[in-house]
Structure 1
Amino acid sequence: MSLQTVVSLLPPLAKTPTKFTLSGFAEGTLLLINVIGASIPPCISSCPNQKEAISWGVGAPCIARYADRLIFGVLELEPTDAGYNTGDVPSAVNLTQFDLVWESLMDSVVKKASMGSSTLKYATGEADAATFLKIYALMQCTPDLSQENCDLCLRQSAIYYQGCCHGKQGGYVQKPNCLFRWDLYPFYVANASTSATAPSLSPPLSPASPSPPSSTNTTITKEDGGISSQTITVIVVPIVIFIVAVAIIAVALLLKRRKKTRQQDVNNNDSSKEYSLQFVFDVVRVATDNFSDVNKLGQGGFGSVYKGKLHNGQDIAVKRLSQNSGQGEQEFKNEVQLIAKLEHRNLAWKNWNAGTALEIIDPILRDGSRSEMMRCIQLGLLCIQENIAYRPTMGSVVLRLSSFSISLPVPSRPAYLNMHSTSESGTESGSYIYESDQSKCKTSEVSVNEASFSEFYPR
């Protein structure tokens, strides 16, 4: 078939050569008249009287195209025709390793084809994906394209295929200026001058025993010679994970060390406090007048409690364990240390003013409602106010404990115990006198040692 015959096949509007541009190529050649001539009639029959048409041919890769405008040297990425083999990549093949080989082969073939001459931009290539499994690829651009545009057209074709047909065992993508095809069997005649160098990757994996790819031996380079983002990720991610792990371990060790140091400080303080609370037995015996019954404050299940006075005038209370006491040495020390912390006779009032009232609550009980605890402490302080008239009645206390809608007043200063022992002879007697806001006097019995008192009349 001659070129004149091919031109005669164009639609009527293209009879004048100056109106239309005819472009085409077949596998490995600038213009293969017979192939292009066979491709034009289907275009005319499908698109009669059209000013522009394109045909990618049937069988051998080719492009036949005509238009009533300039199309030489102009890159056009649409329209796109694509297809794929319905079979999938064999399941015995490691798909991650397969993708690495595939991408590297496509990159090599793209470079080889785009670096062709002004009469031929065509390349083929093959690479081992696994034992007894090869990838074959063919790429071609219209020779009128520049190297840069041919490279771009072919790379866009490969990206298009990955988006539509990834995982299949073959396929093709065709655009107005380029075409690309790959498969797992040879479908072209290899030529040493147009064959791309096979990519050098880690040894192929056997289909019978696939294993994860060794990422440390694989480096994928971009067309400009730089390292790809995939390689950077493989390098950077383990480093970041290592640094984060080291930081977490360091923080954990630091917190553990601080906790241990704090606990040692607490133990040292407790030991020093325990030591400061120890007295020589003779000093205690003298202070209580040899545990005289006159100084006896009370009797408990573990022993008797005596009041005493040290040589410096400080009043003390001494608990002496009885022989029949069930309380051991450790329990006794714990009780002494707890009592030693109560350094103020109005401890609750002191913490209330400091805003630390919850400090008097046992730590085991602090998991409950803080508002309920504060309300109970406030009610307790209201019940021990110095002015009796300000103290709430029991009925009022019960009501306020059962209803949280009733607001509580701010407690005033608590009362101190002021004893006034009187008798006609001016000596100590068994009564005391106090005066209330109602200007009434009452007389009640008090204990001999003035340590406690009882009132027999309700308020």
Structure 2
Amino acid sequence: MFIAQVIAQPNFLYQSCLKNGNYTSNSTYKANLNQLLSSLSSNTEIDYGFYNSSYCQNPDKVYAIGLCRGDVKPDVCRSCLNNATNLLPLLCPNQKEAIGWYDYCMLRYSFRNIFGIKENPSFYLSNTNNISANIVDQFNQDLRTLLDSQRNRAAAGGSLRKFAVGNATAPNFQTLYALMQCTPDLSQQDCNDCLVGSMGDIPQCCNGKQGGRVVGPSCNLRFELYLFYDSTADTVIQPSPSSPPLVPPVSPSPPSTNSPAAKGKESNKSLTVIIIVVPIVAFVVLIISICIYLRVRKPREKPESDEAVDEITSAEALQYNFGTIRVATDDFSDANKLGQGGFGAVYKGKLSNGQIIAVKRLSRDSGQGEQEFKNEILLVANLQHRNLVRLLGFCLERTERLLIYEFVPNKSLDRFIFDPIKSVYLNWEKRYKIIEGIARGLLYLHEDSRLRIIHRDLKTNNILLDSNMNPKIADFGLAKLFALDQSEDNTNRIVGTFGYMAPEYAMHGQFSVKSDIFSFGVLVLEIISGKKNSCFRHGEKIEDLLSYAWKNWREGKALNLVDSTLKAGSTNEIMRCIHIGLLCVQENVADRPTMSSIVLMLNSYSLTLPIPLQPAFFMHSNIESDPSSQWEYDPKRTDSDQSKGSLV
């Protein structure tokens, strides 16, 4: 099954750092927590994916639960939990209670007893693709029926596993898949109630969507119009060893009058019938499945789910028909043009099923081969994170090269942050959420994805905002692939946007993850100030943003940097973000923090930040053009450098 190819690469989804108590770095609680987490999944006799344990005695006792999705194999389960035990304490430093969710496992620990206690769901994820309006009611009815049946099966499970998967026919001959699971320490009633509550949240998170998840500490559910779980996994409900075996209900029947011998003959007869019938039924089902597949297989127009985590192994699975895209964009009309970048124009499009897309029509002089183009498309399409714009597919026809992305309705951050009217819609809470989201997207690119990717063109124009003003990093036209153990590289072709470029890259062509850190720092200071990192007049002086920020920081007047449209906000939070921004734009590469450190800084106020050193001032550069403009410096360009590790 294709699911086996990706099941060993679980994506981190979300963490909840519950503010119910802190511990210090040298405390007994921390030592107990480390001991418990290191031993949580070490019991190799457990192969059903549920680990619950506690360590030591009150007042420093620690409780922990590890739960894997019911269809994953034991080694994958333990690998996922081991990743979680390393990551969660970093994401929730000094918090006595925290929960982390991956695609295939959940880790939870606390200072209080959490065993056998039902607690409410924490967050939702929804598929970005919509159900056609004329079938929503029927879809919801089919979904409810499917979830009800799987809820009963999951709740009826024993103390080893409460898990169920299944599928049903949805409108337009589609197949609807669903998964439901509880922590098996819950009672049947508590599991049932938890899943009922989760189902009640579907209208709020996923109404009219092709898929969604409701995920919590005690139970979770997911549904999609594609197969997202391992259908070969054993989903038989496992009873508790101390409980009588669970038997499925049967209809009453009259008492049997057969003798033992007669029963034996009848049993043999039944066995014979089963042996004959089962292969025939299986064969018929296989033939029908093949026929349906061949019937519905055609050039894909409908994008896959934004929440799909199944690895795409063939570029052809992403290829669109050029005629389809031309119709969707009204032949690339000016009315549908969203913008123009250094690598081509972007158009809004609408597919025949109502799906809104963004189409980037690449310039025709890239010189890149067809297979190389497809390979790079495949790499980018497998980058899946809520804070990255999702590449849905591509079109390659003669000289035409099109990239099809999810459509992000609020366009780019610069249209808000630098607009005196629109900027008032971005209060501090929204700006802080944008900063956090960009940081998480970069952390995924630098450390959490299977590839190490340097974006190289991080700027406000390339941060798109969805309908809820959540940020999504876009435009990988200049991105570079690194090996996982590679730290830096250099190039003779220096391309990018000068106001955001790290000095070592702008002057010497050296780039690394710290180059993106520098750009992130510029972004943070721009988001706080509402000013571009370019020359602006302040009183009698003309300054760039970094020198202005540094001067006010040194003089103890950092709040002078804050956008005047911000009427209210957490002063401590704003000051901390200014501090982080200045740490990121330090001239010395080694002095800049990593993205994992930045995420910790944004989420933990108990973490002491180092004192920033002087940033790189662009006023000292001899480049006289607008620092925010895109430019290219290419004194020794070579063919090998042009194609080395770039992403579309």
Higher relative contact order (CA 8 A, sep 6+): 2
Q: TM-score, normalised to structure 1's length?
A: 0.38
Q: What TM-score, normalized by structure 2, do the two folds share?
A: 0.27
Higher CA-based Rg:
1
